[in-house]
Amino acid sequence: MNTTSPAKVIGLDSYRNHTHGEDDLTSISRLALKLQQSIEIELLLGTFCEETSLLVPCDSVSYGNDNQSLNFQSGKPQAHHCKYSLDLQGENLGEIVCSRNKPFSIRETNLIERLLSLLIYPLRNALLYQKALTQARRDPLTEICNRAAFDEAINKEYSSYHRHQADFSLMIIDIDHFKAVNDTHGHIAGDKVLKSVASLIRSTIRRSDEVFRYGGEEFVVILSNTKQGGAKFIAERVRKEIEKLTVSLRQEIKVTASIGIASSELMQNVTDTLEFADKALYQAKEQGRNQVITCP
């Protein structure tokens, strides 16, 4: 653990406006026990922040881990802060930053370091668990989310629709004549096409949209809070970008895609959205490919 000078602070939901005159061994023991009871990263960090604020008053505690793109924040950052880099046998576990509106004393920073020593092993286990969950939801070839992740995400979208009537659209994208690419140029070329198309879709859609590899050469995009008109606009933009794509491997391979769209606003049952998007995709391929069809 290294204490460093001022750095970026993100922030603490429940600031506790009191402190202890000396180390509270009972509280420290309670923290050690609580940290052993969860492997969920957010719950673990929330427990640490809450218990730490009981012993060392601070307005914000934040955690960041660039390697796993993780950020946890609670509270409002203040001018005075101390930053700790967490390290376990050479493995960087991320950084913790505590802040408040007055300087920390040496006794307080020593206590924070003692508390952090209790966090290191539970945090390492939680990070391993988080990494395993992420990998289980990711397609290893294209590095986008997979079918299992889509099933989870679409169920959340259905729930959001039923609770808030928040319209959404689905877009199914199928690479045209993909079997011919594999047969003519080989599976290495086919893999490169898949990776190129996945990357292009991800960079073309909005940040709020999610793209998944649904299977084979098919991709599905969930467009939250989007009606049919907006979905068609985005789909056309994706189709045009794919049409411009050229994949080079010994020779240049031109790529096009057919896209089917269905929107919840037109569905009597939103769980039919995927089925209707698939029907629209089939129609696009039947009508000559490299086009966008909406359904119904």
pLDDT digits (tens, 9 = 90+) for 148-165: 999 999 999 999 999 989
Rg of the chain (C-alpha set): 25
pLDDT, position 24: 59
* Residue ranges covered by each domain of the chain: 2-136, 147-295
Residue 8 in this model has a pLDDT that exceeds 80: no
* Residue 226, token pair as written in the block: 């989007």
Average of per-residue pLDDT across 124-136 = 89
Architecture (CATH level 2) of domain 147-295: 2-Layer Sandwich (3.30)
pLDDT digits (tens, 9 = 90+) for 178-191: 999 999 999 999 99
- CATH class for domain 2-136? alpha beta
Residue at 234: amino acid letter: I
Q: With bands split at pLDDT 50, 70 and 90, how would you rate the model's confidence at 6?
A: very low
pLDDT digits (tens, 9 = 90+) for 216-262: 999 999 999 999 999 999 999 999 999 999 999 888 999 999 999 99
The phi and psi torsions of 263 (rounded to 5 degrees) equal -125, 145
Mean pLDDT score across all residues of the chain: 87
Q: H/E/C letters for each residue in 36-87?
A: CCCCCHHHHHHHHHHHHHHHCCCCEEEEEEHHHCEEEEEECCCCEEEEEEEE
In Å, how far are 41, 47, 49, 53 from 115, measured between CA atoms? 17, 12, 10, 11
Active-site residue set: 217
- Rounded to two decimals, what is the model's pTM? 0.69
Residue 16 in this model has a pLDDT that exceeds 60: no
pLDDT, position 133: 84
